[in-house]
Amino acid sequence: MIVLGLSSGTSVDAIDAAAADFHLGPDGVLRMRPLGHTEYEWPAALRERILKALPPAAVDMGEVTQLDTLIGQEFGRAGRQAIDDVAGGDVDLVASHGQTLYHWVVGARAHGSLQLGNAAWIAERTKRPVISDFRVADIAAGGQGAPLVSVLDALWLGRDPQSPDGAPAGLSAALNIGGIANVTLVGEVEAPVTGWDTGPGNCLIDLTARQLTGEPFDRDGALGAAGTVDQAALRALLDDPYFAAKAPKSTGRELFDATYVPRKLASVRPDLTGPDLVATLTELTAVTIAEGLLTVAQSIPADRRSAGDAAAEPQREVRRVVVSGGGAHNPTLLERLRAYLPDGCELLTADQLGMPIDAKEAYLFALLGFLSAHGVAGTAKGVQRRRSTGARRAAVLGSLTPPTPLVWPAFTGPIRRLVLANTPFGLAPMPKGTHR
């Protein structure tokens, strides 16, 4: 089954598209063959309208309605184009994340999440069924609705002691640095995982770079590398209850908005600007990621392994960090992150393991579309009988447009692993057409 994933992240830099061919074996091994990915620039005027509508802006319902339509039309256009560009015209289902405008979190709980980009437009333009609105089912089940990538990370990076594939013993941390950064901590196959947003990824750096240079981001980390970290400012920025809160937790541009940095620095370094400010914000991103993942790893409760193995201490050592997202292109950020990681912890990019760094989120939505179409939950097992998002139960995610019956049979067995197959299928013993 071929699924096209469409997504635009909190950076609002582009609509990402990726298509993958999925084959699910009776052994619970899901083989995913990436067919290709690309991105489509937002029309400049629409991008400006989206950025203007983000928190802390007050927006009227007329604008919300118009954005829902315009973003839906743009996703539809991108989808129709991508079906030809990356999948040779052969796509069975479109899975669209849409554009997040608001992620409603109060204290430790998520209450809602609004992604615009109406699916009716996408179905109309792609002539394919569309699954969209992936986050709210998990929120309704008591979860954060974010980050959703944990299910991909758990299936993909879980270490199988029977066939370790070169994965080190201990924990892998999958790190995606978009506008917001998120981490999933993964141990052995089928062990519970923890996923959470660490806080700002590129969003605060982008806002500052834009003010300083008019460029949308700090290209290749040049400003960050030229500046010096201001320790007093860094301390003030780190003094936020979000960084101290326990995982799982999620956040967005509602908290890390354009007023965040001036508010935090008002009483300590209101004059901080230029490369020194960018260097300080780069350090903030690096330190909150590294400290977050090491703290969460240390606090993994003893129920991490299977019930029969209850006496065993869980793995708490992070042995590798697998980076994706646009922040992986910022060498200054990666260098600062490296500085906070313990010796013996490897830092590698997702593409070194076969997952394109700029398309991981789009491939995630392709995977979620596949799971939802088969009635399989879109979250991974978490600690303490919760899901990776903190939800009380495993929810099948998303809504289907149009609501016609799906042609794919429900899959009832557990999916154990995701194997990225960069070679044509046929090598694996798969009954032909079973899941197509």
Interface residue list for ligand ADP (CB under 6 A)? 9-11, 13, 178-179, 202, 206, 217-221, 325-327, 329-330, 361
To the nearest whole angstrom, how small is the minimum distance from the Cβ of residue 361 to ligand ADP? 6
Residue nearest to Mg ion (CB): 9
Query: Is 11 one of the annotated binding-site residues?
Result: yes
**Between 362 and 371, CB nearer to Mg ion:** 362
Query: Is 14 one of the annotated binding-site residues?
Result: yes
SS3 of residue 73 by DSSP: helix
Number of neighbouring beta carbons within 10 Å of residue 425: 13
To the nearest whole angstrom, how small is the minimum distance from the Cβ of residue 326 to ligand ADP? 2
Give the integer Cα–Cα distance in Å for 211 and 380: 39
To the nearest whole angstrom, how small is the minimum distance from the Cβ of residue 414 to ligand ADP? 29
Give the integer Cα–Cα distance in Å for 367 and 425: 17
Asked if residue 11 binds Mg ion (CB under 5 A), the reply is yes
**Between 13 and 153, CB nearer to ligand ADP:** 13
Query: Is 92 one of the annotated binding-site residues?
Result: no
Where does residue 218 fall: left (phi above 0), alpha (psi -120 to 50 degrees), or beta otherwise?
Answer: beta
Query: Is 325 one of the annotated binding-site residues?
Result: no
Q: Are 262 and 273 in contact (CB under 8 A)?
A: no
* Amino acid (1-letter code) at residue 176: N
To the nearest whole angstrom, how small is the minimum distance from the Cβ of residue 301 to Mg ion? 34
Is the N-terminal amide bond of 147 cis, ω within 30° of 0?
A: yes
**Between 83 and 281, CB nearer to ligand ADP:** 281
To the nearest whole angstrom, how small is the minimum distance from the Cβ of residue 309 to ligand ADP? 37
**Between 27 and 215, CB nearer to ligand ADP:** 215
Q: Which residues contact 387 (CB under 8 A, 6 or more apart)?
A: 138, 141, 143, 377, 379, 380, 381, 393, 394
Query: Is 9 one of the annotated binding-site residues?
Result: yes
* Amino acid (1-letter code) at residue 281: L
To the nearest whole angstrom, how small is the minimum distance from the Cβ of residue 256 to Mg ion? 16
Choose from ligand ADP, Mg ion, none: what does 276 bind? Cβ within 5-8 Å by kind: none
Asked if residue 292 binds Mg ion (CB under 5 A), the reply is no
Choose from Mg ion, ligand ADP, none: what does 10 bind? Cβ within 5-8 Å by kind: ligand ADP
First and final C-alpha spacing in the chain: 4
Q: Kindly state the tokens that stand for 259.
A: 């007023």
**Between 282 and 401, CB nearer to ligand ADP:** 282
To the nearest whole angstrom, how small is the minimum distance from the Cβ of residue 242 to ligand ADP? 17
Choose from Mg ion, ligand ADP, none: what does 192 bind? Cβ within 5-8 Å by kind: none
List of long-range contacts for 36-41, beta carbons under 8 Å, 24+ apart: 36/85, 36/86, 36/87, 37/86, 37/356, 37/358, 37/359, 37/362, 37/363, 38/82, 38/85, 38/86, 39/14, 39/15, 39/358, 40/14, 40/15, 40/74, 40/77, 40/78, 40/81, 40/82, 41/14
Out of 13, 68, 206, 276, the residue judged to bind Mg ion by CB under 5 A: 13
**Between 126 and 202, CB nearer to ligand ADP:** 202
Choose from Mg ion, ligand ADP, none: what does 202 bind? Cβ within 5-8 Å by kind: ligand ADP
Where does residue 201 fall: left (phi above 0), alpha (psi -120 to 50 degrees), or beta otherwise?
Answer: alpha
**Between 68 and 218, CB nearer to ligand ADP:** 218
Query: Is 85 one of the annotated binding-site residues?
Result: no
State the chain's maximal CA–CA distance in angstroms. 66
Among the residue ranges 4-12, 57-65, 232-240, 288-296, the one whose residues contact Mg ion (CB under 5 A): 4-12
SS3 of residue 347 by DSSP: strand
**Which residues in this chain contact Mg ion in the complex, by CB under 5 A?**
9, 11, 13
Annotated binding site for ATP: 9-16
Annotated binding site: 9-16
